[in-house]
Chains A and B, each alone.
Chain A
């Protein structure tokens, strides 16, 4: 495997379900991110982890719970979601955070297309 991988690629869930999204990066990066992408809207940064520590949480509802067990893996645990949470969820990694230049260039995974019924 190379780059950034995400599973599953597609997920349909009911509002009472609990599911998890998984992301893995094979680039040796120190930072990982979760983004939400809705149609015709900018990418919304949800969470940032640097060396397994959460450095940013952009007012995301508690029904989204991130977990970063090591610098290569990132999870997004989902529970009691709403239909408006349906979107493409992108994971990304970068060499680091809080730096200029291309140091925090984002390398994206293919995303998980989530549909909440």
Chain B
């Protein structure tokens, strides 16, 4: 089966940096997605990694190590609107999701 682990909750201060880790053990691998989901809304795409290394998109970056089965999402210069759940999903012809990490940004 698929096993995808990420922390349940994280809290950080406005303007700070937070790193959300995701470890996975899956039968196949064709890339890893990060999604953001605000309460009561649809998950929306943040990033995609298929090769090892760091992908940077503005304040958000995502890193992948395929040999370690590990990824992280880095959120810089945190804003109140970044309070949301962040979902890690591994692509093995279909997406298998982690339970999500709820990030709370405090003033």
Q: How large is the interface on B (under 10, 10 to 19, 20 to 34, 35 or more residues)?
A: 20 to 34
Give the size category of A's interface with B. Answer: 20 to 34
A90 to B48, CA, bound (A): 21
One digit per residue, 1 when the CB lies within 8 angstroms of any chain B CB and 0 when it does not, for chain A 11-36 equals 00000000000000000000000000
Q: With a CB–CB cut-off of 8 A, which chain A residues contact B41?
A: 110-111
Q: Please tell me which stretch of B63-71, B75-83, B95-103 contacts chain A, meaning at least 4 of its Cβ atoms lie within 8 angstroms of it.
A: B95-103
Contacting residues, chain B, for A40 (C-beta < 8 A): 8, 99
A60 at the interface (CB under 8 A from B): no
A97 and B42 contacting across the interface, CB-CB below 8 Å: no
Residue of B nearest to A55 (CB): B94
Q: Does A45 contact B (CB under 8 A)?
A: yes
Contact for A108 among B4, B31, B42, CB less than 8 A: B42
Give which listed residue, A100, A107, A113, contacts B31 with CB less than 8 A.
A100
Question: Cα distance A18–B93 when bound, in Å?
Answer: 33
**Given contact pairs A41-B99, A97-B94, A100-B30, A105 touches B48 in the complex (Cβ within 8 A):** yes
Could you tell me which A residues sit within 8 Å of B by CB distance? 4, 40-43, 45, 48, 56, 90, 97-102, 104-111, 113
Can you spell out 15 A-B residue pairs with CB atoms less than 8 angstroms apart?
A4-B42, A40-B8, A42-B4, A42-B99, A43-B43, A45-B94, A90-B43, A100-B50, A100-B91, A102-B31, A104-B91, A106-B33, A106-B95, A108-B44, A110-B41
